[in-house]
Chains A and B, each alone.
Chain A
Amino acid sequence: MKYALLIYADRARELYDTLDEDDQRAITAEYLAIRDLDGALGGAQLQPESTATTVRVQGGRTLTTDGPFAETKEALGGFYLFEADDLDAALEVAARIPAARMGGAVEVRPLVER
């Protein structure tokens, strides 16, 4: 099965910013290493929400607004896509994502497969 691991990392980010350079490098290395795990299909870190633009099309007209679609407490900070045998395997990868232990959270969602 394929899963998206959605990383909510605002608070983890705050903690990250307080770390010294060596520790920051170690965390970044962890994120990169997860991309090399078996089953990894891809992923990306997103720029902060302040860079977001939201698009809607209503009656054929494109409406463009500044900012993210939903004002949530925690913003989506990045994601991985994984192929995993089952939910347990996906949850194990999710638990390795540094944000999960740094005050953030990782939401695991199965992908629709056609």
Chain B
Amino acid sequence: MLEQVFRDEWGRVLAGLIGFLGDFDLAEEAAQEAFAAAVERWPRDGTPANPGAWLAVAARNRAIDRIRRDRTLAAKTKLLEVPEAHVDDQPDETTMPDERLELIFTCCHPALATEAQVALTLRTLGGLTTEEIARAFLVSPETMKRRLTRAKDKIRAAGIPFAVPSEHLLPDRLAAVLAVVYLVFNEGYGGRGDLAAEAIRLGRLLVELMPDEPEAHGLLALMLLHDARREARFADGELVLLADQDPSLWDAAQIARGRESLDRALALRGRGPYVVQAAIASLHVEEPRDWRQIAALYGELARLTASPVVELNRAAAVAEVEGPAAALALVDRLELGDYRYLHSTRGELLRRLDRPAEARDAYGRALELTVDGPERRFLERRLSELG
């Protein structure tokens, strides 16, 4: 129970503290102390009516204590004279501004490296520990700790603002925020399911904080719809292509939630890349699949993103509508040299065109570019079927 409250409240408590103190480290320490105090006191004295407010006030008082004890800290923070609030005065929600949106934009500021943006977002808003983030990204805890420290140092030294960007900066900066969340999701989609769940949590938070942003709804829809097929993507640890997946393994309730988010995005007149991708994902969980519409949406997405990877996906849809020859003509125009899915897609199209020798070459090239795991075993099976 406590753990759930902590997961839910950590981001908001920390965001409020950072806004108040102007210092990430001090805020994090104070929040940790407050959460530790709660572990000790709540089981004894009962859980307070408003756990989030209790934690926020306790953390704030601890930070003020520390600053009073340590003059150099006082100089470092923007805090001057603040009256002490009493932990047992239960402040109501209205006195606790929600500053998580400011925090997200700070963590995903383009002046930070992408990997630092991801780590900071997971640490501050996701409430993951440094060790958990390190494990998720396959680096040592020391490396992750350094990465986080460097990022926090830069925020302070370079004056990265704790603020929602002004109107004219917002589109670019919002795109950066969405990209960070989607990146976390894709790390999880590769098999580490806890990261996918974390990304969806962050996606829900973005929608809660920016209810009028269609792309935020689009991203949430996209993640829900993809993740709903998670159980069907692997059978006995082996990769199952979308066409061969067992729809009874799809999570119908989650698909419904994904479609709700998509409808919301469309109602907000969203036509951006995440909304279009969510619309495609929604068509992919419909039987029978409307390949013509899927191909058209990939065309739309290609116009929005100018991405050859999107063109490759369009080609796969075109193969279903116009046949493999038309698709191969599209694929062979793409400049994607070492992209493994280019070669596996070519292999598949050549196989269907009954050109086994060329198909073998293409699958072989894809195999060279794929590391060990289910994807690699899938390609090996295809190759052996070709003789």
Contacts and interface: CB of A to CB of B under 8 A. Distances in A.
Contacts of A14: none
A72 B221 CA distance: 47
Interface string A1-21: 101000000000000000000
Contacts, number: 27
Which of B109, B111, B159, B163 has the largest count of A CB atoms less than 10 A from its CB? Answer: B159
A88 B165 contact: yes
A105 to B, nearest CB: 14
Nearest to B156: A110
Interface in A72-104: 84-88, 90-91
A110 B159 contact: yes
A91 B161 CA distance: 12
A86 B160 contact: yes
B36 to A, nearest CB: 33
A92 B157 CA distance: 18
A3 B111 CA distance: 14
B253 interface: no
Interface in B109-130: 109, 111
B163 A87 contact: no
B157 A110 contact: yes
B169 interface: yes
Interface residues of B, number: 11
Which of B158, B160, B161 has the largest count of A CB atoms less than 10 A from its CB? Answer: B158
A88 B109 CA distance: 9
Contacts of A87: 109, 111, 158-161
Nearest to B160: A87
Nearest to B169: A88
Contacts of A84: 159
Contacts of B157: 110
Given A110-B157, A110-B158, A91 B111 contact: yes
B351 to A, nearest CB: 46
A90 B111 CA distance: 12
B111 A86 contact: no
Interface in B339-377: none
A84 B161 CA distance: 11
A94 to B, nearest CB: 11
Interface in A36-89: 84-88
Interface in B215-271: none
A108 B111 CA distance: 10
Interface in B127-164: 157-161, 163
A85 B161 contact: yes
Which of A84, A88, A91, A110 has the largest count of B CB atoms less than 10 A from its CB? Answer: A88
Which of A85, A90, A91 has the largest count of B CB atoms less than 10 A from its CB? Answer: A91
A20 to B, nearest CB: 31
A64 B384 CA distance: 70
A3 B157 CA distance: 11
Contacts of A1: 159
A57 B82 CA distance: 51
16 contacts: A1-B159, A84-B159, A85-B159, A85-B161, A86-B159, A86-B163, A87-B111, A87-B161, A88-B160, A88-B161, A88-B163, A88-B169, A90-B159, A91-B111, A108-B158, A110-B157
Interface of A: 1, 3, 84-88, 90-91, 108, 110
Interface of B: 109, 111, 157-161, 163, 165-166, 169
